[in-house]
């Protein structure tokens, strides 16, 4: 992949903030690319690169011969928008964080239910081994890495490619802001073993319940840690 221009990155960041902050309302026209180049002291190539990325995120509707119009990111955006909304204007959107964690809990619980009937023997063994490792790990950063490895293995064992792609998107947010999500591993860790054993035994309801309990405890730990 070609390296992104620092100027295009600056313009992209500015436009994303303007759109997500509500400076430009859904349906509103964005200034022309030539006007943006003049206002932001940039060349046209950098503006076009930034605009293209906003279009790919679903934040802009760009049509040949027509103005660039701001879209409603809630109905046109994808998972890649989540990270930008979470940290818009340099702050943390608690509401979006709560929504992200709720969606994570629901997705992981259903993944556990599916994994109980679809997992391979090797996947079951790896889940049990990861559950043992995180129970024994005291260093938070190491536990955090094992936590994500456990859930990635669980989702892969569910055998649903779309769930795996969603997990990939969450991974980017998770590790780009690792310090924010570190409190997740402060939750009780016995649930990992409960879930892994239920998956091994083919007990879908028990696996889903254990993962839902774990994810809910992690949510509470995370939200308590926020200033």
pLDDT digits (tens), the chain, 227 positions: 446 788 999 999 999 988 888 888 999 999 999 999 999 999 999 999 999 999 999 999 988 766 899 999 889 988 888 888 888 766 889 999 999 999 999 999 999 999 999 999 999 999 999 999 999 999 999 999 999 999 999 999 999 999 999 998 888 888 888 999 999 999 999 999 999 999 999 999 999 999 999 999 999 999 999 98
The pLDDT of residue 1 is 42
**Which CATH number describes the domain made up of 6-77?**
1.10.10.10
Q: At what angle do helices 94-118 and 204-225 cross, to 10 degrees?
A: 160
The torsion defined by the Cα of 136, 138, 144 and 146, in degrees rounded to 10, comes to -20
Contacts of 4 (CB under 8 A, 6+ apart): 49
The span from the CA of 79 to the CA of 100, in Å, is 10
The pLDDT of residue 179 is 93
Contact 144, 184 (CB under 8 A): yes
Domain ranges of the chain: 6-77, 92-225
Beta bridge partners of 61: 69
Tell me the pTM. 0.85
The span from the CA of 90 to the CA of 221, in Å, is 23
The span from the CA of 140 to the CA of 49, in Å, is 39
**Which CATH number describes the domain made up of 92-225?**
1.20.120.530
């Amino acid at each position: 992949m070609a390296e992104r221009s620092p100027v295009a990155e600056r313009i992209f960041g500015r436009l994303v903030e303007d759109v997500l902050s509500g400076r430009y309302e859904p349906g509103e026209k964005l200034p022309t690319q030539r006007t943006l180049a003049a206002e932001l002291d940039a060349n046209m190539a950098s503006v076009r690169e930034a605009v293209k990325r906003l279009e790919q995120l679903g934040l802009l509707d760009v049509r040949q011969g027509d103005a660039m119009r701001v879209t409603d990111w809630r109905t046109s955006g994808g998972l890649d928008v989540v990270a930008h909304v979470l940290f818009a204007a340099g702050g943390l959107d608690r509401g979006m964080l709560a929504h992200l964690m709720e969606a994570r809990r629901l997705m992981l619980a259903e993944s556990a239910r599916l994994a109980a009937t679809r997992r391979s023997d090797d996947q079951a063994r790896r889940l049990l081994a990861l559950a043992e490792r995180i129970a024994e790990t005291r260093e938070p950063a190491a536990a955090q890495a094992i936590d994500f490895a456990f859930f990635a293995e669980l989702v892969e064992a569910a055998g649903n490619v779309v769930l795996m792609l969603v997990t990939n998107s969450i991974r980017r947010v998770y590790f780009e802001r690792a310090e924010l999500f570190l409190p997740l591993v402060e939750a009780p860790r016995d649930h990992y073993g409960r879930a892994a054993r239920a998956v091994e035994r083919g007990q879908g309801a028990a696996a889903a319940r254990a993962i839902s309990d774990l994810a809910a405890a992690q949510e509470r730990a995370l939200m308590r840690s926020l200033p």
